[in-house]
Each structure stands twice: as C-alpha cells, then as structure tokens.
Amino acid sequence: MELWEMTATDVAQRVAAGDVTARAMTEAALARMDAVNPAINAVVARNDDEALEAADAIDAARARGDALGPMAGVPVTTKENVDQRGFPTTNGLRVQKDLMAEADNPVVSNLRRAGAVIIGRTNTPAFSLRWFTRNDLRGHTKNPHNPAITPGGSSGGAASATAAGIGAMGHGTDIGGSIRYPAYACGLQGIRPTMGRVAAWNPSSPDRHIGAQLMAVSGPHARSVADVRLTLETMSVSDPRDPWHMPVPLDRGAYPKRAGLCVSPEGLATQPAVEQALRDAADRLKDAGWEVTEVESPPFREPARRQAQLWLAEMARGSRAAFDKEANADAMHVLAEMQKLTPEPDLNDVLDALQARVGFLRTWEEFLGRYPVLICPVSAEPPFRDLLDLENFPRVMEAQLTQVGLPLMGLPGMSVFTGFGTGEAGHVPLGAQLIGGRFREDILLDAAAAIEARSPAISVVTP
C-alpha cells in the first residue's frame, strides 16, 4: 500500500509508533496531489512549505517524547468557505479572492491542535450553492470515478480529493446536502453532524442570519467509518467563539438496534438502483443483528420548503448584491430557479418557518425514539450527470428532497457507501442515508460501520 492510500486512523497509529514520519506522509500526499489533481481540480490552493513545517514539528515532538494529538501526521484538506489563516476565504467567488483570513475557523483550529497536517484548500461552487462544483475563480472540479458525473457540491472538491487519495479526510460543510451528497457521488463515508456538535465561525466575515445559524454545519468526508469517527471527534472539541456549540460526548450510551427503512419518503420517485442500495444497506444491518422495519418517514417536504424560505431570506437580506456583483451565470441560474419554486419570503414567512421548525423536530425526535436510525435515500437518483441543474433544475431539486429537508431540524445525517452501479452517465457509486436523533452520531457511526463491514471496500481511485 502506498502511503497516500492509508486511512487516517492507520496514519495516526503509525506516526505515533514511529513506523513512519509525518514528513514522509506529507510528502507522499503532496506528490499524490501533483499526480492526480490536474485531472480533477479538487485542491485549488496549497502551501507545501507550511504543511512540511507542520509535519516536521510533529516529528520533533515525537522525538522529544511529547504527547501527540489524535490525528498527528494525518494529511487533510479544508474547504475554501472556512477561514484558514494566510489563505483567502473565497467561497468560490472572484469578489472574495482577496478576503484574507487572519485567524482560523474553530474547525481548522481543532484540526491543527489534533496534529492534522493541512495540505490544501478544496473547491466549492460560487456561494457554496449547488450540488455541482464549478465557479469562475477556481474552475470546474471533476469526479475521479467518472468525469461525466458530478463530484457533488458544495463540498465537491473535498470529496473528490479524498476519493483520489489527496489527504485522508476532506472537510466539508452542509446546509442542504453539501457533505452528504459529495460523499454519495464520490463513493465515500460522510457525516452531517447535529447543529451545535462542531464549533464553527469565520472571523473574516459578518455572522450569518438565523437560517444558516440553525442549519449550516461542518463535518468530514473519509474513506472509512473509523476515520469519520476520529475526525468528527477532533472537530467537536469546544471553542468559545461559537455560542451554538454544545460540549456533548460523542458516545452517549446504549440504544435499541432498531432501524426504519423508507425507500420513497412522501412519494419520492426513488430510482431502482437507489432502492437496491437502500435494501442492501438494510439487509447488511439485519445481518449485523439489527431489527429493520419498513416504515413511513416523518416529513421532509414541508421542512424542505421552510428550509428554502430561510435560505432565500438570508440571500435576499445579505447576499443579493454579492450575487449581482459576482455575476456567476451558474449561481444566478440556480438562484432564479429556487425563487421560482419558493418565492422570496416576507417577515411572516420567516417567523412561521421558525415556529414550524419546533413541531417538525418534535415529530422527528418521537420517531427516532422508536427507530434510532432511519434508512432513506441520499438522493432519489444515482449521481447526476455533471451540471444537470443547468438543464433541469426542478428534477434535481426534487431528487434531493431528503438533503434539503433534514437541516431545518438540525438533525445528523450520514451518507454510507454500499457499492457501485449504473446510472444515466455510466459507472457510479451508490449509497444510503442514515438519519439519527440529536447528538446521536454514535448510533449512525455504529450502523454505518456494520454496513461498511458487509459492503465493498473503499479504495483510492485514480482519475
């Protein structure tokens, strides 16, 4: 096995044991980036010298006998919409190409403290708005499995890089599927944590409005469930700069091994290949001793509508001028299509959405008390042809129902890889979404590990 193929857990163990140096791991990751990134354009900013200095500091600490962090020597990437000192927080925008971060976002701080070595910054669509990854500043990111399909978005660069062996973990953010969908499209494991689990804040920018405060989260993409667990625990360390953060332990005790399976939530037209992936996941859980029952899901459609209202309220209040100034054709198209489906809300719409949120969360928590895991689609379709939203946005939006509906409640959701199949654009990864109760990511990780143990192994892919 090449060094760049190793999982984060293996790297951390081997660096701590002295079997490999952090510098060797970093050099291998940078060489892999040189070899494959030109084909996928996943990493769009790098600072090799800083990464190597960080690796050398870890090796020096080990030589002194100092305690090492839980991710010591693990090469990782960060998304270009979070602050990392010395880099611009572009969010895929030309108008932010000079927005230089002077301090780290708490997510970045926690990765550094744990000993992770940041080797690059990954691409995102303009405004981190789409399930596809292209912008006028950094260009177009491709899926290493199949360039005809999207790598997902908005964390498409993170997932593409991780799938191709550029780092063992790719940091992502999720307000409408932006961790879960890239993991699905790139054949990875990826988790959207509970709102408040991972502290996050960009010192370079004004605080976001209430919709994003309640719905936007940071989380990891990785090639193994163990790596997701390790990196999520690392990201979850308390930071006083985020008032929403909750210092809740990751492992929260016993639970009944019961899961609900819903193939077509609220009439979603789930395609056969996706249904098979869901039933495969359910069967693998059963084989692991779980009780799985086919059920109707709690609501997604009305939460999705309310989520879009809050999202559009934020754009109208704080981002519309930036949309006009950036003049990115893709983003303007998507915004116009969203406004067709959900007209711009007024104050009463926003207040009603916030009121409705409590009732939806109550319904979901009651359901998840009976079934601690819900198995449902990440998307109703296999990974889309790239840029399909520019041809048929309503089709794309409908297929992504479960991604858009979940964040309103702040609940955790995980995309788990189940294998490969055939989609409209040929060979594609497939998977299932697991949804759990607030701060019960431990249940999702346990279920995902059981599915992973009975699924094809995730291997690094060369584009």
Catalytic residue annotation: 79, 154, 178
Give the CB-side neighbour count of residue 395, counting CA atoms within 13 A.
Answer: 12
Q: Which of 121, 62, 113 is nearest to 86 (CA)?
A: 121
User: How far is CA 239 from each of CA 105, 245, 264, 301, rounded to the nearest angstrom?
Assistant: 10, 7, 39, 34
Helix (H) or strand (E) holding 417: strand 413-423
> For residues 40-68, b (16+ Cβ closer than 10 Å) or e, as one string?
bbbbbbbbeeebbebbeebbebbeeeeeb
C-alpha–C-alpha distance, residues 163 and 80, integer Å: 18
| Bridge partners, 415 (sequence order) | 190, 433
Render 243-300 in DSSP notation, one character per residue. Answer: TT-----S-------EEEE-SSGGG----HHHHHHHHHHHHHHHHTT-EEEE-PPPP-
Residue with tokens 């981190």: 128
Q: Work out the end-to-end distance of the chain between its first and last CA atoms, rounded to an integer number of angstroms.
A: 18
* Rounded CA separation 194/443 (Å): 12
Instruction: State the DSSP string of 368-382.
Output: HHH-SEEEE-S-SSS
- Is residue 114 within 8 A of residue 72, CB to CB? The reply is yes
Q: Is 161 helix (H, G, I), strand (E, B) or coil?
A: helix
The answer to whether the beta carbons of residues 156 and 169 sit under 8 Å apart is no
3-state secondary structure of 7: coil
Q: Are strands 413-423 and 189-192 parallel, antiparallel or unpaired?
A: antiparallel
Nearest-Å Rg of the Cα atoms of the chain is 20
Sign of the CA dihedral running 35, 41, 42, 43: positive
* Whole-angstrom distance, CA of residue 73 vs CA of residue 25: 7
